[in-house]
Structures are given as structure tokens and as C-alpha cells.
Amino acid sequence: MALSDAGGTLASPFTIINRRDDRTDVEAITDIIGQYEVKQVIVGLPRSMDGSLGMQAGKVKDFTQKLCGYIEVPLEFRDERLSTVSAKRLMREASTKKTKKKTRDDAIAAALILQGYLDETRQMKPEQGTFD
């Protein structure tokens, strides 16, 4: 999971929610949404390299449909193809320690997905300095 600054300029890795069951996971996400006053949720959608939606994407959509029943903020999907590959490359380039590697890769991948969304949104609305 990643969060952006209040102005919607910079995404940062935040935490990893290790999947347990839908109820526990939804509760963890809704707690973060409330605590950090999240205005919009961006969900990485795992597409195949040809752009099609596979079994994992179906699981993501099923879960987010459940999540939407508990949140009042808009939710949008983003293609997450190659986000973990990019995160691993960034980590290698930064020469960080290998401890908790999977956790760090996933959090960085989430930040890359969110940053891509923020950058696109800013390009579409250059006159606005805030993220809504």
C-alpha cells in the first residue's frame, strides 16, 4: 500500500497488508482510509502482458467490489503490469539491504502505481494544485 501527500504530488510506500480473509483485509483498509483521510483509492489491476484479465485480476475485482461496500471514496483501477519489476530494478539501483525484500518490493510497486496515477492526473489538470 502507498499513500500520497495531501497535495497529490508524491506517492510513498506505506505498508503491506498481508492477506488473511476479506473481512480482516477490508477492515484494515477502511481503517487506513479513515485515519489518513484518503480521498480516492487506486487499485493495481494485474493484467496479462497482452492486456487481458486473468484469474488474479478477477480475484482483485471481486475483493474491490466487497471493499466498495464499506468505503465512501471513489475507487479506480490502474494497470499494474511490470510495477514489481520496476520496483525491484529501483531497489537494485539504490543498493538497499535485502531484508524483507518482498515486502519492500510490493510497497514500492504500490507507490509506483500511485505515482503514475498522480502524474497523469496532474497532466490532465495542470491548473489545479490539489488532488481531489
In this prediction the pTM is: 0.72
> Where do the structural domains in the chain lie, given as residue ranges?
2-124
Fold of 2-124: Nucleotidyltransferase; domain 5 (3.30.420)
Cα-to-chain-centroid distance, residue 118: 11
- Nearest CA to 86 among 59, 66, 114? 114
pLDDT-derived band at 86 (thresholds 50, 70, 90) equals low
- Give the pLDDT mean for 91-96: 57
